[in-house]
Amino acid sequence: MFEDILKNVQEKTPLVHCITNYVTVNDVANILLACGGSPIMADDEKDAVEITAICDALVINIGTLNERTIATMLKTGKRANELSHPAVLDPVGAGASSLRTDTTFKLLQEVQFAVIRGNISEIKTVAKGSGTTKGVDADERDAVTEKNLDEVISFAKELSGKTNSIIVITGAIDIVTDSNKVYLIRNGHEMMSKISGTGCMLTAVIAAYCAANPENHLDAAAAAVCAMGLAGEIAYDKLVKADGGTSSYRTYLIDAMSKLNEKDFEGGAKIEIR
């Protein structure tokens, strides 16, 4: 169902401007290339506001934020809005410190995001102004299960209405929703949580997919989440054969994204629409 979306990314090679943390920035750059996009990183205000104008989308990822880059995020986000470029927010660790939480709120006030992606703890912080985020991983108490799924879906739809952003909550079950329609995606593999950066990478892939599919950001975001999950599954199959560990898994994950095609979607997508 996402064949055209994939094709658009590969044909248009969207240029994605990332203001992102220095922990996973290299993975973000390489997965953008792997998925059919092209990355550019710029985080100085004087540079970034201009750079974003030659790009097709903007990623704001608040991991390793500082006062200088926060100012850049705000100005560049506004500029992306003026240019109607999709802006995607990754509120890494929102809830874990006041600076991260406050910055998330400020960004939400001043920038209109096309998509907000986080784990359930981060998204709860986005919604409530308080959270129980344990570092950059979701708190176990927040875990999305089949049992509380309906509740979380209602929460995500409501938040989407409030923010006018597509909400993406990733975990064992991924939720992609606007205020009306929700995609539940059950692709992926638990090994993805054993390497740094899968969340950051996915956020950037969402931005590339949205940039190449301006008419339908919801489907684009869902396709990106599904693509990342499929890549995670393909990588795991390879890992088992190679008897490798976590670092090999990271390599295979980006490899899989670089080779992903329509048939992978047809054969492997585990998507439910509600």
Are 146 and 172 within 8 A, CB to CB? no
Q: Cα separation of 274 and 33, whole Å?
A: 32
Q: Cα separation of 258 and 142, whole Å?
A: 33
Residue 254 sits in the site that holds a copy of itself (CB under 8 A): yes
Span from 45-53, 119-127, 182-190, 265-273 in contact with a copy of itself (CB under 8 A) = 45-53
Q: Which of 7, 33, 75, 216 binds a copy of itself (CB under 8 A)?
A: 33
Q: Cα separation of 173 and 185, whole Å?
A: 6
Are β-strands 57-61 and 38-41 bridged in parallel, bridged antiparallel, or unpaired?
A: unpaired
Cα 269 to chain center, whole Å? Answer: 18
Give the contact letters, 193-232, x = binds to a copy of itself (CB under 8 A), - = no: -xxxx-----------------------------------
To the nearest whole angstrom, how small is the minimum distance from the Cβ of residue 218 to a copy of itself? 27
Q: What is the total residue count of the chain?
A: 274
Site for a copy of itself in 83-122 (CB under 8 A): 93, 96-100
Site for a copy of itself in 161-180 (CB under 8 A): none
Q: Is 248 exposed, middle or buried, given 0-12, 13-18 or 19+ CB atoms closer than 10 A?
A: middle
Q: Which of 2, 8, 9, 24 binds a copy of itself (CB under 8 A)?
A: 24
Span from 4-12, 25-33, 146-154, 208-216 in contact with a copy of itself (CB under 8 A) = 25-33
Q: At CA 12, angle to CA 11 and CA 14, rounded to 5?
A: 135
**Site residues, a copy of itself (CB under 8 A):** 15, 21-27, 29-30, 33-34, 38-44, 46-47, 50-51, 54-55, 63-68, 93, 96-100, 134-137, 194-197, 244-248, 250-259
